[in-house]
Amino acid sequence: MTDTHTETTPAWVEGSALAAPVILGAAAGLLFGNLMHSGARRGLGLGLSVLGLAALLPFVVDGVADLITGPRSKLGVRRKIQKIRDIGLCSPFHDEVEEELRERGVI
């Protein structure tokens, strides 16, 4: 009897793990917001905004790159077809068939 038990993580666990830092940050902001001077609050807010945008930048670049060169784009389809053609040209089977056809005088 084979044991095919695979442990998968439910989607809600991943979602809550991603949302936890946001919720904790918002709670800390509400708790400590009134304790800080308004000028310090403004600077900290701008700094954290820039840091958040910098953290999102790789995801944005990946998304745009996937739209441009992904498997469903024109460029992605052309690249895939070219790779298939290149693999066919360099395979040893292709060389053997070509040599045999030349020996028989077909090519």
**Structural domain contains residue 64:** no
Q: Does 12 share its domain with 44? A: yes
**Structural domain contains residue 2:** no
73: Cβ contacts below 8 Å, ≥ 6 apart: 67
The mean per-residue pLDDT over the stretch 23-29 comes to: 82
**Structural domain contains residue 34:** yes
- 105's tokens: 């005088």
**Structural domain contains residue 3:** no
* pLDDT of residue 34 exceeding 70: yes
- 8's tokens: 């998968």
Q: Which domain holds residue 81?
A: 70-107
44: Cβ contacts below 8 Å, ≥ 6 apart: 36
Domain boundary among 34, 56, 78: 56
Q: Does 78 share its domain with 46? A: no
Distance CA 100, CA 94 (A): 10
Quote the pLDDT of residue 102.
83
* pLDDT of residue 49 exceeding 70: yes
Q: Tally the domains of the chain.
A: 2
